[in-house]
Structure formats: C-alpha cells, structure tokens
Structure 1
Amino acid sequence: MDIEAIRAGKHKQLPGVDLEDEDLSESQLEKLNLAGANLVGTDFSGSNLKSARLDGANLLGANLQQADLRANFLGANLMQADLSHADLRGSNLRGANLMGAKLVQASFAGAFLSGTNLTGVNLQGVDLRGADLRGANLNSTNLKGANLAQADLQGASLSEANLEETDLRGANLRGANLAGANLLCAELEGTNLEGANLESACVIGTGLSKSPV
C-alpha cells in the first residue's frame, strides 16, 4: 500500500483496506472512502477527513486529535479512540461505539448520535448543541458543563450521568431515563421532560421537583 499517495489524497476509494497502525497524520483525506476499513491504532491526528466515509470502520484506539471529522461514522467502532479537539460538527455517528473514547473539547454541534454508545465517557464541557442523541446510551457519562441546548435526547438513557451545570435549555428529554442523575444547577429553561424518569435524581438548583409537570 502506497501510504504517501494516500496521505497526498491521490486515492479516494479504499473500502475495507487494512491500515492498522499506519501514520496518516496531517493528511488530506477529504471524501476518502474507508468504509469497513481496519484502522486500529491508525494516526489521523490533524488530518482532513471532511466528507469521508468511515461507516463500519474499526477505529479502535485510533488517534484522531484535532482532525476534521465532519464525516460518516455510521456504526463505526471508536472505542478508546482519541478525538480530543476534533471537529465532528454535523457528523453521522449513528450507532457508533465510543466507549472509552477521549473527547476533550471535541465539537459535536448538530451531530447525529442516535443509538450511540457513550457509556461512562467524559464529555465535560463538550459542545453538543442541537445534536441528535435519541436513544443514545449515556449511562454514567460525565456531561458536567456540557452544552446540550436544543439537543434531542428523546428516549436516551442517562442513568447516573453527571449533568451538573449542563446547558439543557430547549432540549428534548421526553421519555429519557435520568434515574440517579446529577442535575445540580443544570439549565432547564424550555426543556421537555415529559415522561422522563427522575427517580433519585438530584435537581437542586434547577427549579424543578423530581416529578416534572
């Protein structure tokens, strides 16, 4: 495989390719088709993957720091991947597995994350404005200070999640599971909590009772 040619953006169709542990940092990979590829441990740090196809790809432990990831990750495996400071605005991550991923200061504004597994992930301060998180697994996730304004969390599971000082203004939490969640001083102006489970949740400083009306 000619890695330098890939780095230079000369290849666009590489579905199913094996690039495990390869160095593709600081590369121009816009619109590259890597659907179903083996990208375990691959270094994409600082690379441009805008509009790339990574659906079904295995990115276990991949380095995606500061990369442009406004791409398609439908059903991709991103477990333990490093997406710190990455741009994922509007990305399609439906059904992706992000358990153990590093997401410090990543931007997910407007991203499609329905059905995504984010169990126990640290999303402190992360931008999730307007993101689609319907049915997502956010159990035990740290969302302290995150921006979830206008996000769609209908039917999402947030059991034991930390939502302290999280911006949930205008968010849709209809039917969400917030059992045992920490909502201390969360911003809930205009938030839809119809049918949400707030059993044992901390709602101090939100102006709400545990039984939303």
Structure 2
Amino acid sequence: THVPPDPTGMLSASRSLFASMPGPDDIRSAASAQQNLVRREVADSLRDQGLEQSEISRLLHPSPPPVIDTPRQLMSRFDSMIAQATRTPDVRMPRVDQRLRDLVDRADSIQASMSRGVAHMQPAPPPLARDVAARWRDGAARARQAGQSFAGLKLKSGDFSGMDLSGVDFSGGELEGVDFSGATLVGANFTNACLAHANFRQARLDGAALVGANIGRADFTEASCVGAKFTDAIVQHTCLAKANLESADWQGVTLLEVEADESRWPGARLSQATLIKGRLTGSGFVGAELTRATVLECALAGADFTSATAESADFITCTLDGARFDRCRAPNVRFVYRSSLDGASFREAEMPKSNFRGTPLAGCDFTSALLDGADFSEARCVSGCFESSSLKGALLMKTDFSQARMAQANLMQAVAQHAVFSGADLTGCNLFASDLARVDVDSETRLADAYMAKARTMPRRKVEPPASARKES
C-alpha cells in the first residue's frame, strides 16, 4: 500500500498522541478506584464518629430510586432533572413536548378512572395501624380547621369516624375502606371519588355530592342522605338499609344488588334508574319520581309507593306483595313476567293502559282507580276490590274475578272473554258494549242494576246457508 510522505512529521505525532491516551476501560477503572478510595475515607471518618457499620453501608450504598409508576411521574422527574441541570426553577417545554404532556395526562386520567371503576370488585384494603390512623386523623382535623381542601386525597382504610367534615372537598379522592361512620358530612363533595368498601353507617350526608363516585360495597346503614346527589355513581352491592334518602337524586343510576330494607325514599328522583336484584322490603317511596324506571327481580314486599309517579315504569319479575300504590300516577306502567302483587293496594291510582297480564293480584284493592285500557288478561284477581273503578276498554280475557267486589265499576267496551265472575258482585256496573262472551258465572254472581246494553253475552256464530243453496252455487 502506498503511504504518502510525511514531511512535517504531523502524522507520526498524532499517532503517538492517540496511543498515549487512556481508553474507555482505563477511564472506568480509574473512576471506580477513585470512588472506592473516597468511600473508604468517608467510611473511616464515620466510623471514628461512632456510627455502626450497617448505618455506614446504608449511607454509602443507598437503595435504588423507587420505580416510576406512571408516565406522568416520569415526565415530572425528567422536568426536575432539566431544571436542576440548568439551574432554572421552570422549564418551558416546546409545543411538541406540551402535546406529549397532554397525552400523558389523558392516559393517567383514564387509568385512574378505570381503577376507581373496578375498586369495588377488589377485596377491601387492610386496616391501617392505629398510630398511622391516629396521625391521619389529627392531620385531617388540623387541615379542616385551616380550611384546606382534601381533593385528590389518597387514603385507604383511614378513620374519620365521628368527625365534623361538613362542606369538605373530597372530589377525586381515593378513599377505599375509609371509616366515615357517625361523621357529619353535610354538603361534602365526593364527586368522582372512590368510596368502595367505605363505612358511612349513621353518617350525615345531607346535600352531599356523590356524582360519579364509586360507592360499590359501601355501607350507608341508617345514614341520612337528604337531598344528596348520586347521579352517574357506581352503586353495586351497596347497603342502604334504613337509610334516609329523601329527595335524593338517583336519575339514570343503575343500582345492582343493593340491600335497602326499610329504607326511605320520599320525593327521591329515580327517573330512568335501573334497580336489579335489589332487596327493598318495607321501603318507602312516597311521592318518589320513577318515570321510565326499570325494576328487575327486586324484593319490594310491603313497599309504599303512595302518590309516587311511575309513568312507563317496568316492574319485571318483582315481588310486590302487600305493596301500596294508593294515588299513584303511573300510566303505561307494566307488571310483567311473574311479578307478584297479592294483597297490594291501588286505591285512587291513575294507571291507564297499564299492564297486569298474568300477574297474581289476589286480594288487591283497586277502589276508585283509573284503569282505562289496562290489560288484566289471565291475571288472578280473586277476592279483589274494583268498586267504583274505571276499566273502560280494558282487556280482561281469562281474568279470574272470583269473589271480586266490582260494584259501580265502569267496564264499558271492556273485553272479558272467558273471564271468571263466579261469586263476583257486579251490582250497578256499566257493561255497555262490553264483550262477555263465554264468561263463567254462577248463582252467586250479582248483576243487579248492571247496565248491559249492547253487551255481547254469547259468541256470534256464522249462519250457514241451506244445503240446497250450496248445491246451486
């Protein structure tokens, strides 16, 4: 290979210079040796000061930094490193980095929302140690006196029982398993908070905001929630037994398998709410708003719906024996798919075009009820009372009215084919133009003063032409 001449000797000098420079391995070895030397000197100095070897090792060999959980924390750490390196308190990021930050914030928000949404499906968090819980409690009391906000607080299994936390902002907090029993939380803000497994027994939550909160498996036994807002809340396996929910807002909420025996819901707003497999025996819904609500497989025996509004509501496979719907306004309401209403009361109720098809209604009281266009086909209304009720145009096909009291009832244009009126009292009934074909009556059926003009009492038969006419044709 041809080597160019080197008249000035610069090439040889450069080669000698690079050959004499230390390599990367040499640099690392020297740095490590220097670091070990410094550590030994520091260790000797600390040992002379009386420190134990374990403490010296902890100081000279610190544990690695904690693992960064979220991209948001990683970005914050990156910003702080830049700020320290440049000795500036604030680092202005370019527009592209700002967009990245926005995406990270959104991802963290979605992650936090998903975590809050499934917290009730996880086991309850373990209780805090007594000293730790006491410190949190004291700190909360001081912060409350100073008027500080608790928004975004992350505390699991804390103890705020019996404390006065009225008007405190807990929005967005992660408060799983926290004990609020007996606490005063009037006007408190729990919007989007995670309250799964929390204890609110006998707490006062009047006017509190729990919009979007997760109260799955929380305990509200005997709690007062007058005027509280629960819209968009997650309500699954929640205990509301004997709770006062007067005028509370549950519009559009799905309540899954709640335990709410003897709870009180006067004036509560449950429009378009969905109750699934709940236990609400003996509960009171006086004056409640249940428009377009769906109640599926719920136990509501003895419940009181007096003066409630339940327009187009659906009660599907529900137990409503002994329930009260007096003066209830519920047009187009439906009690279907094996719902039971034995002994229920509907006195003066307004329920036109309602659906009771196939429903057990033994001993029910429909006195003075408005039931025009209602469907009672195949229902069992044995010993029921329909006195002075209006059933104009109602469908009563194969309905069992045995021993029913129907005096002064209006059955004009009702269709009662194959209905059973054995022992029924139809005194003074308006049966004008009604269809009574093939009805079952007996000697005890009373029809005194009943108006039966144009009523169909026998099936009309097609008149066959004579045989001679058929042959000619």
Q: TM-score range by the shorter chain?
A: over 0.9
CA distance in 1, matches of 2:267, 2:351: 22
CA distance in 2, matches of 1:207, 1:56: 39
Q: Deviations over 1:19-64 (max 9, x none)?
A: 2211111111111111111111111111011110000011111111
Matching residue of 1:160: 348
1:180 equivalent in alignment to 2:368: yes
**1:143 CA displacement:** 2.2
**1:74 CA displacement:** 0.9
Q: Deviations over 1:65-117 (max 9, x none)?
A: 11122212211111111111111122222111111211121111222211111
Could you list the runs of 4 or more consecutive aligned residues of structure 1 that deviate by over 4 angstroms after TM superposition?
A: none
**1:206 CA displacement:** 2.5
Find the residue that maps to 1:128 and give its secondary structure. Answer: strand
CA distance in 2, matches of 1:131, 1:10: 28
1:201 equivalent in alignment to 2:389: yes
Matching residue of 2:66: none
Superposed counterparts of 1:103-142, under 5 Å: 103-142=290-329
Superposed counterparts of 1:42-121, under 5 Å: 42-70=228-256, 71-121=258-308
**1:207 CA displacement:** 4.8
TM-score (norm 2): 0.43
Q: Aligned letter for 1:46?
A: D
Q: Aligned letter for 1:205?
A: G
CA distance in 1, matches of 2:208, 2:352: 39
**1:169 CA displacement:** 0.7
Work out whether residues 5 and 11 of structure 1, in 8 Å CA contact, stay in contact via their aligned partners in 2. Answer: no
CA distance in 1, matches of 2:247, 2:395: 41
Taking every aligned residue pair, what percent have the same amino acid on both sides?
23
Find the residue that maps to 2:295 and give its secondary structure. Answer: coil
Q: Aligned letter for 2:218?
A: L
Q: 1:207 to 1:48 in 2, by over 3 A?
A: closer
CA distance in 2, matches of 1:121, 1:10: 31
CA distance in 2, matches of 1:203, 1:82: 30
Q: 1:10 to 1:138 in 2, by over 3 A?
A: closer
Work out whether residues 47 and 66 of structure 1, in 8 Å CA contact, stay in contact via their aligned partners in 2. Answer: no
Q: Aligned letter for 2:358?
A: G
CA distance in 2, matches of 1:128, 1:15: 30
TM-score (norm 1): 0.92
CA distance in 2, matches of 1:5, 1:84: 29
**1:10 CA displacement:** 4.8
Find the residue that maps to 1:148 and give its secondary structure. Answer: strand
**Greater helix fraction, Structure 1 or Structure 2:** 2
Q: Aligned letter for 1:12?
A: A
Task: Indicate the RMSD between aligned Cα atoms, in angstroms.
Answer: 1.8
Bigger radius of gyration: 2
Q: Which of 7, 11, 23 pairs up with 2:209?
A: 23
CA distance in 2, matches of 1:10, 1:89: 19
Structure with more relative contact order (C-alpha pairs < 8 Å, separation 6 or more): 1
User: Structure 2: 5+ residue runs without aligned partners?
Assistant: 1-164, 176-192, 408-419, 422-473
Work out whether residues 85 and 106 of structure 1, in 8 Å CA contact, stay in contact via their aligned partners in 2. Answer: yes
